Structure 1
Amino acid sequence: MALRRKRREPVGIVVHDHGHGPEPCFRDDYAEKAGHDRSRGRGHGWGRGWTQWPVRALLGALTLSVVVVSGAAGIERYLSLKYMTPQAPLAHANITMSDQISWARRGQGLPDHAPPVVLTFHDVNRHSKSPYVLTPQAFDAQLTALEQAGYRTLSAKQFTNYMNGGPVPRRSVLITFDDGTDGLWKYADRILAKHKMHGTISLITGSMDKHRPYYLTWREIERMHRSGRWDFQSHTRAMHGMKQVDATGNTGAPLVNRLWLKDEGRRENPTEYRTRVVHDLAGSVKDITGHGMPAPSMFAIPFSDGPGQQDADSTDSQARHLLKELFPIVMTDHSSVPLTASRRSAAEGLVQRVEVVARTTPAQMLDRIGQNVQVSPDVRRPLSERENWGGRQTRTSFEVFLGKAPSSPLTPRYAKADYRPNSSVDWTDYRATALIGSLGNGTNQAALGVRTNSKEPMTVVLTRGRATLLADGYKVASQPLDPKSDHAVTVEVRRDTTTAHIDGRVKLSYASDKPSEQLSGGITIRSGINKDGNQWPVFRSLDISPLKGAESHG
């Protein structure tokens, strides 16, 4: 087959498009016609001439946008894989009907409106041997128990509103977690959502995005915040670890200790200590607000139930003064004075929480909450409520107050008990009436105390022939009594005045100069003998009632 030769145009001819399709053009005329084409804006094919730059710009922009979108999607996927732990399937506890009935009964008899109780959980995780970590099923059971007992949960804003003087909420708890562990996103978040409840996490902000997968990431925190189920508070930026405090190598909590400066062979001076602590605390606030969340109003003390930190709740400690500069409310699991959430604790700026750990059953949790719910000073026959008497009773049972003296020679000569010490923090404007008997000839004594755990507790001490009024342990009044074995005592507690009437004739009174918000508190009974074998005094009766015209609790 003959090959077809390619047609060649004459040497002086070129094929050119002047805007009307390809046409032959003498080479000598090409330059001139092409120049005319350019001057008229006529393109050399599609996308040339006056349209070429807009078209090219559009094509470039489209190409760039595809690249950017693809790249951004790729980056987002990478960051999500790195900084977002997949959430585990929702866990369900195995709860029986008898469990639900038992939990509901534990809520009966408690006030419908009362200051909230603050709970401390630590972590939720499936595979942990820590005594502080709950399994997802255990956490689900605890929240179910709260629902059955009639509790709701508060947000940090709602809780702070009450502490700032707002109205007393319905029966409620504030659920808090310390540290900011990843199990709260992986397991607890969906369980919280299931129960339509709210949680508050105090973050060690310097540990977020680090030590994966133990701690949360800021991406997870931001997602949790946007859900509306979580609030975030401060647990320091980097003071959650024991540090060297002296030359011998002893360690302590950096919040309350001046640290050892190894390179300089000395401890921090007070100014250096203050600068370090303030820098850390302010940094934790900046970390939280820098990720689009409100500035924290609460601070959870690190190691608040452990060694090296017991004085962090002391009103005289420098740490407390520094904390109060940044945080209106300080949370602790250990306190020398059990100030659960109340008007009194709001004035102090310190709240003691109820801790829930792995071994805590839902029933035990509810019982402990009930012991911390603020109740009104209106109690008939509290001596019959032996489960509600706490405080120090060294090697004695409550029976010693009821005339059943211990027989062991090792029994001490003094006994003391507080009535609902955590639930009577706000008591004021009330009356306590007691009949005390079996008082001997000066060899035994009994006492009725009021304003328990306040800044100035008051005590009426009775012997067979004398009544003495003590203010914070110091005698402020004393009068003789008719010498007899039984005496009736009535103590009236008003905002700043304490008045005792004995047998309707003897009156002892004292007016405090301390702020009234520091003087509220409940009831204490005491008994003592001077030598072994003596008759112990007997509390034959005790009643507590609000004074006429007193405001209701809350």
Structure 2
Amino acid sequence: MKAINRAILPLALALAVALGGIAVRGVRAVSANAPAEPDGIELPIVMYHHVLKEQARLNKYTISPDEFRSDMEYLKTEGYTPIVIADLLAYVEEGAPLPERPVMITFDDGYESFHEYVFPILQEYDFKAVYSIVGRYADQYSAVDDHHIRYSHSTWNELREMRDSGLVEIQNHSYNLHENQNGRHGSMRKSGEGLAAYQTMLEEDLGKLQDECAAFLDWTPTCFTYPFGQISKEALPVIQGMGFSAALTCEEKLNYITGDPEQLYHLRRFNRPHGTSFQTILERARK
């Protein structure tokens, strides 16, 4: 028996080492030191602003039409399906399924370059996007003939055309809070401003754009996009009370959608600057 044991021992040790290696690899996969997998459905949201062809004008908030097309081609190749706020609400409120790889394309400010360059590419790929507009600019450029792709904003007629396509979801970026003026930064509460006065101001400003969208587009926005991403803690109960079901921020992180409706008031987005593809942004975010 001792001889047999001595013969078997090296084999047993070798087997133990082999199994140990497997066990170690298994432990690494679920190690307490490893980052936990987030709960929920991963939803990357990309934030664009302006699109121009002039290379000299490309910057942190302005990309070229070719760059945008390249991003869309990447999403198509990788099997992503662009969704809008309505899809998130259907998932949370009705249990409607989301696509296997959802992504959200958002554009802020309402530049006319969206209609000129972005909308045709969305039509080509049959992709949906969220377009957050500033009401005062829509009024201004609907009333004048002064249109230049560098600075003009979409008119109500253009907004209606894109809305009717079923590809562009119009959302509320304030009526006239997309400026830092008179001590106010975006939609934030000013220093020393009374809470009641602040709430009235915000309700009147956002409500004016809500009314104009209903009148011009037969549509009432469901999402508030914070100007400059500047969040005031006093704003949340106001937008909830006004009937908004979601809000877009500028916090650059991935979202993991769990079905909690409160989560939709803090949707996070990655800014897409010139020279850095959405693919690169996603790869960095997952590290």
TM-score normalised according to structure 1 size = 0.40
More strand by share: 1
Q: Deviations over 1:368-409 (max 9, x none)?
A: 56x2xxxxxxxxxxxxxxx4xxxxxxxxxxxxxxxxxxxxxx
Change (3 A) 1:183 1:221: same
CA distance in 2, matches of 1:293, 1:256: 29
CA distance in 2, matches of 1:158, 1:118: 13
Give the total of aligned pairs.
236
1:193 to 110, 118, 123: 123
2:109 to 154, 161, 179: 179
Residue 126 in structure 1 maps to residue 53 in structure 2: yes
More contact order relative to length (CA 8 Å, sep ≥ 6): 2
Equivalence map 1:400-439=2 (5 Å): none
CA distance in 2, matches of 1:126, 1:273: 40
1:364 to 274, 280, 283: 280
Change (3 A) 1:161 1:117: farther
Three-state SS of the structure 2 residue aligned to 1:139 is helix
Output the amino acid matched with 1:256.
M
How much does 1:120 deviate? Answer: 1.0
- Any gaps of 5 or more consecutive residues in structure 1? 1-112, 246-251, 260-266, 372-386, 388-554
CA distance in 2, matches of 1:229, 1:150: 18
Greater C-alpha radius of gyration: 1
Three-state SS of the structure 1 residue aligned to 2:220 is coil
Between the aligned residues of both structures, percent identity stands at 22
CA distance in 2, matches of 1:363, 1:299: 27
1:281 to 196, 206, 217: 206
Change (3 A) 1:281 1:235: same
How much does 1:114 deviate? Answer: 3.4
Q: Deviations over 1:119-139 (max 9, x none)?
A: 211122212333211101111
Output the amino acid matched with 1:124.
V
Change (3 A) 1:344 1:198: closer
CA distance in 1, matches of 2:213, 2:112: 17
Output the amino acid matched with 1:364.
T
Q: Which residue matches 2:86?
A: 157
Q: Deviations over 1:180-217 (max 9, x none)?
A: 10000011111111111111101111211425432111
How much does 1:325 deviate? Answer: 1.8
1:216 to 154, 161, 171: 154
CA distance in 2, matches of 1:297, 1:225: 14
CA contact (8 A) 1:180 1:203 kept: yes
Change (3 A) 1:143 1:175: same
Residue 301 in structure 1 maps to residue 226 in structure 2: yes
How much does 1:345 deviate? Answer: 6.0
How much does 1:367 deviate? Answer: 1.6
Three-state SS of the structure 1 residue aligned to 2:41 is coil
Equivalence map 1:463-542=2 (5 Å): none
More helix by share: 2
CA contact (8 A) 1:341 1:352 kept: no
TM-score normalised according to structure 2 size = 0.75
Q: Which residue matches 2:66?
A: 137
Output the amino acid matched with 1:116.
L
CA contact (8 A) 2:49 2:62 kept: yes
CA distance in 1, matches of 2:181, 2:137: 17
Q: Which residue matches 1:328?
A: 245
Three-state SS of the structure 2 residue aligned to 1:233 is strand
Output the amino acid matched with 1:356.
R
CA distance in 2, matches of 1:114, 1:237: 33
Q: Which residue matches 2:76?
A: 147
CA distance in 2, matches of 1:204, 1:221: 12
Three-state SS of the structure 2 residue aligned to 1:221 is helix
How much does 1:300 deviate? Answer: 0.8
Q: Which residue matches 2:8?
A: none
CA contact (8 A) 1:118 1:341 kept: no
Q: Which residue matches 2:36?
A: none
RMSD: 2.4
Output the amino acid matched with 2:188.
V
